[in-house]
Amino acid sequence: AETVVDHSNRRDHQSLIAADARHVLHPWADLSALGQAGSLVISEAGGVRVKDADGRSYLDAIGGMWCMTLGYGREELAEAMAEQARQMAYYTPFGDITSEPATRLAEMLAELAPGDINRVHFTTGGSTAVESAIRTAHYFFAAQGRPEKFHVLSRINAYHGGTYLTQSLSGKAADRTHFHYEADFVHHLSSPGYDPDISEISAEERLRQLLDEMEAEIARIGAENIACFIAEPILASGGVLTPPEGYQKATLDLCRKHDILYISDEVVTGFGRLGHFFASEVRFGLAPDMIITAKGLTSGYQPLGAVLISDRISDAISAAAPKDKPVFSNGFTYSGHPVACATAIANIEIMQREDICGHVREVGPYFIDRLRALTDKSIVYTVRGDHLMACVECWTGEEAGPTARNMALAQRVDQYCQEAGLLVRPYENLCILSPPLVITREDIDRIVAILGAALDRATQDLRAGTIG
Ligand code: PMP
């Protein structure tokens, strides 16, 4: 195929944009704009800021994609990668072969993880970790002579990944257009998000409804047919949805009662975003059977994911594996890639040395408080969040409620933020924020000031009728 890139000048911005428009199908691309030259080329980054190819600087309140935790341009992480690449860039992780970084990292993760979670199955990212956890849950019951116990409970508005099974587990209606997504063994409970500012019922009442529904669904499917429940402690991509107080623990108790495994998807909530390496135990009183981690595990510097597995499960799958076919048929060429694992080790060391979790516990509530002041604006329906994950939900003021998802609103706010040097993530009518964990109070003030001004400009447009 013919190419339009001028390779003689890597910084030829316009030709890069043209080549992107001609050749790349981006993840989660807007297909109606495919082929139109409009991509933002991010080409440099340092601290909590990124620069585009024209040299414009932006404060990164998206945090890469929930994953940038320690900030950009950390020498120590770059060094860890380079050193491992020089020493031994790759070798197969299959069967009984391992590498030093993967082994050391597994040991560190077992130390950090709650309860009797001591075994690590590495993957390439979050989706492959979720897939692997579901397969492990299936294996666990099937190997013990209960192959019919394979149904999975998930929730509306959950996000668990972009592969076929993880998309079936995810519960975001908008993502289903023209894809065949139904896995007949996946069942969605209601979205558990509870926002006291806009809810007409109390948290206790909402909790009761959610638990009653879960009990009823378990009874309908039959506990003997259900392998596991998968849940983000706070639903991230679904719109930063926090369940009512006590929900996480109560759903775990229900799972225990019915012998259903509990998988906590901490791809976003883990690695410091809520102020702890894993939020499950400390924040929500959970000792899950499996925890999924990715993203912040390497501070986004390398792709890596992992399923953290309790001894109860790993002992059982080992004891019950058929003697003639004992292979655990799951894994990927790049599972636990040595360079990625070396990066994760350096990341954990820095997080511990600099007490990044402590910093998040300190600035997180400030971030949410400052953002919540934006609720006064008429275009803001509600602001919600927890530590360094937050969301500003917009509305026209005339809609029936937040369910009327006017995408143009958040896109306009995003456009004005970008013009003023701030990146937020527009999703439907929401502006989602998850800044790097090293964010300072000063930069939090800057985020809120720019976002506030962008919301004001969008409000004027709304009044002038220029938002479609
Ligand atoms: N689980 C959750 C909670 C996520 O937010 C994501 C990604 N946004 C995934 C799983 C999938 O991770 P990945 O994109 O690395 O495959």
**Cα-based angle 225, 155, 308 (whole degrees, multiple of 5):** 75
* Residue showing tokens 């500012």: 197
Nearest atom in ligand 1 to 295's CA: 15
CA distance 197 to 14: 46
The token pair at 205 is 């009442």
At the topology level, CATH places domain 75-353 in Aspartate Aminotransferase; domain 2 (3.40.640)
112-152 pLDDT tens trace: 999 999 999 999 999 999 999 999 999 999 999 999 999 99
Name 19's Cβ contacts closer than 8 Å, sequence gap at least 6: 3, 4, 5
* Residue showing tokens 């009874």: 219
**What ipTM did this prediction achieve?**
0.99
453-468 pLDDT tens trace: 999 999 999 999 898 6
CA distance 384 to 99: 42
Instruction: Report the chain's terminal Cα–Cα distance, integer Å.
Output: 38
- Decide: 394 in ligand 1 pocket, CB within 6 A: no
Q: Where are the domains of the chain?
A: 40-73+356-464, 75-353
162-196 pLDDT tens trace: 999 999 999 887 788 888 777 899 999 999 999 99
Beta bridge partners of 154: 188
The token pair at 275 is 């102020």
Average pLDDT over the chain, rounded to an integer: 94
Pocket test for ligand 1, best of 160, 240, 278 (most atoms within 8 A of CB): 160
CA distance 40 to 423: 11
* Residue showing tokens 């901490």: 266
Please tell me whether residue 348 adopts helix, strand or coil conformation: helix
Task: Give the count of alpha carbons within 13 A of 420, CB side only.
Answer: 20
Q: What is the pLDDT along the chain (468 residues), one digit of tens a residue?
A: 555 555 555 658 888 999 999 999 999 999 999 999 889 999 999 999 999 988 999 999 999 999 999 999 999 999 999 999 999 999 999 999 999 999 999 999 999 999 999 999 999 999 999 999 999 999 999 999 999 999 999 999 999 999 999 999 998 877 888 887 778 999 999 999 999 988 999 999 999 999 999 999 999 999 999 999 999 999 999 999 999 999 999 999 999 999 999 999 999 999 999 999 999 888 999 999 999 999 999 999 999 999 999 999 999 999 999 999 999 999 999 999 999 999 999 999 999 999 999 999 999 999 999 999 999 999 999 999 999 999 999 998 876 555 456 788 999 999 999 999 999 999 889 999 999 999 999 999 999 999 999 999 999 999 998 986
Q: Is residue 367 within 8 Å of residue 130, measured between CB atoms?
A: no
Pick the CATH number of 40-73+356-464 from 2.40.50.140, 1.10.10.350, 3.90.1150.10, 3.40.50.1370: 3.90.1150.10
265-290 pLDDT tens trace: 999 999 999 999 999 888 999 999 99
Q: Residue 323 Cα, ligand 1 centroid: separation in angstroms?
A: 35
Task: Give the count of alpha carbons within 13 A of 142, CB side only.
Answer: 12
Indicate whether this model's pTM tops 0.90: yes
Nearest atom in ligand 1 to 126's CA: 12
